[in-house]
Amino acid sequence: MQLHHWQALQGSRATHGTRCSGTVICTRRNSIPATRHGQQVIRRAYVEPGDVKAWHKLDCKHVVEAQQFGPEALHAIFAEAAQMEKVKPGTAEAKVLDGRVMATLFYEPSTRTRLSFESAITHLGGTVLSTESAGEYSSAAKGETLEDTIRTIENYADCIVLRHFQAGSAKRAALVSSVPIINAGDGPGQHPTQALLDVYSIKKEIGRLNNLKIGMVGDLLNGRTVHSLAYMLSMFEGVKMYFVAPKVVAMKEEIKTYLTGKGVEWEEVDDLNAVASDVDVLYMTRIQKERFDDMKQYTAARGKYIIDTKVMQQLRNDAVVLHPLPRVDEIAVEVDDDPRAAYFRQAKNGLYIRMAIVKQCLLGC
């Protein structure tokens, strides 16, 4: 049995467990096991997942990175999300998570992600324990480790939605948690639920995921959304990716190497107008000021690429513009009224995807 690449973070925890399925190793941290909803809780740690298509069939699900999902899992999640769009207050479906509690633990600022997750469980009858600015207002300010925080909060909630400033933090949390961990963004690492809603939006807007051309624009070095999106789109046939970014925030080499290994065609391009005329999706991101140590580099990168009416004139009539939001000035406000500007529809899809994810995570544990 080969351990997943998370083994380095896991240490000796997995080696003393007993295998309980093909995808997890069960371990007990204490001699007295925890209980949840009247049932014994066994802690789970990752091993090599093998058939990633089976994520939606796992008993206990964490959402940590985009590579966890295969086409079959995406189909199941998207089908569930489509049903979530139909949920009405007072119906049986609106009570399916009655009695379940979600903790949202956010060490970095968020509007759409935190509120859409909290809205998601509320729409399904659950409740929320919420903290933002956790680094300042939680025990992390006293020096508590992330692992200890997770081991405490798991006693109060049935799942934990985590946003953290360090890449890899969601993996660390998942390795010690007895409840599902959902990665809501780990620094410059990944944002898998954003990728899910992005791909769901592309499917709804364009009508296909194969033979797709997408231009990713802006901060591709620090933008966790484009990292997860690139990984997720790599599973589809005939996808070509254009990377349009200032050199200081170019796409990570490890992601380009991964795409090449998967046979995905990609190209780094300077001319935004040329890319706009050729793609199905123009995916814009902001230059992330908070990730820069040198403000001169930030100033040089900001404003180099802006989607305005001139760029929209180059965009095909059947193409769309997406943006994970928030925006600063990289998409002109006058673009908002263009029917091809799909970023607010995209944000709405985030509610349905997160309803689907939360439901599948909680009903499986």
Catalogue the active-site residues: 112-113, 142, 163, 191
- DSSP character for 66? G
Order across the sheet with 281-284: list the strands. 265-268, 240-244, 213-217, 281-284, 320-322
Longest alpha-carbon distance in the chain:
66
Contacts of 306 (CB under 8 A, 6+ apart): 329, 330, 331, 332
The encoded tokens of residue 348 equal 């709405």
Degrees, nearest 5: CA angle 267-249-350:
85
As a whole number of angstroms, the distance between CA 243 and CA 324 comes to: 16
Report how far residue 60's alpha carbon sits from residue 39's, in angstroms, rounded to the nearest whole number.
14
Burial of 81 (0-12, 13-18, 19+ CB in 10 A): buried
- The structure tokens 């410059």 sit at 188
Distance between CA atoms of residues 129 and 252, nearest Å = 35
Query: Which of these, 142, 67, 156, lies nearest to 104 by C-alpha position?
Result: 156
